């Protein structure tokens, strides 16, 4: 018979605190509040959940910069990974498995890969960020405006 691993060892969905149930609208018809996030920001999520669950050797093929937030591509992806994790954890364990398979591992592999944003990082000389690629402004009517 197969033994069940310690629950603490397989905690892929973070703290086990149950999200607060949305409040029922009061007589005033106010919409229910969305559940609050587990982590205050992407930095806390990265340090307390993501990196401890993504243990890899940093070698010639995998790079990481401690100042990851200075790299626009890394900053954007880490923020997107955090918000997506916060949303998907509410959908239960199967959603978390989908999150790791479809988002977390592919994007972390891309971030730390040889062609990722940290490719030029050197612990001795510190990072020299590559220059952004040149662009020209799109015509004013090219992108639809968002309703804000």
More confident residue, 57 or 3: 57
The pLDDT tens digits for 3-48 are 444 545 445 556 655 545 545 555 455 666 667 899 999 999 999 9
Determine the pLDDT at residue 112: 93
C-alpha torsion 137→143→144→148, nearest 10: -60
> Taking the model in full, what pTM does it have?
0.65
**122 pLDDT more than 70:** yes
Average pLDDT over the chain reads: 78
Q: Which of 117, 51, 44, 56 is nearest to 86 (CA)?
A: 44
Give the lowest-confidence range in 25-34, 95-104, 110-119.
25-34
Tell me: pLDDT of 146 over 90.
no
Per the model's pLDDT, the better-predicted residue between 57 and 43 turns out to be: 43
More confident residue, 79 or 60: 79
- The pLDDT of residue 36: 87
CA distance 89 to 13: 6
Phi, psi of 62 (to 5 degrees): -135, 130
Kindly state the average pLDDT of the residues 100-129. Answer: 85
pLDDT score recorded for residue 82: 96
């Amino acid at each position: 018979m197969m033994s069940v691993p310690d629950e603490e060892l397989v905690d892929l969905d973070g703290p086990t605190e149950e999200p607060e149930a949305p409040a029922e609208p009061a007589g005033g018809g106010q919409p229910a509040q969305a559940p609050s996030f587990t982590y205050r920001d992407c930095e806390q999520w990265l340090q307390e959940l993501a990196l401890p669950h993504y243990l890899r050797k940093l070698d010639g093929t995998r790079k990481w910069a401690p100042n990851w937030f200075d790299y626009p591509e890394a900053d954007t992806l880490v923020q997107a990974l955090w918000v997506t994790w916060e949303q998907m954890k509410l959908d239960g364990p199967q959603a978390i498995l989908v999150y790791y398979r479809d988002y977390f591992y592919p994007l972390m592999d891309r971030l730390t890969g040889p062609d990722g944003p940290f490719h030029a990082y050197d612990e001795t000389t510190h990072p020299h960020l590559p220059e952004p690629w040149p662009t020209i402004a799109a015509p004013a009517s090219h992108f639809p405006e968002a309703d804000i």
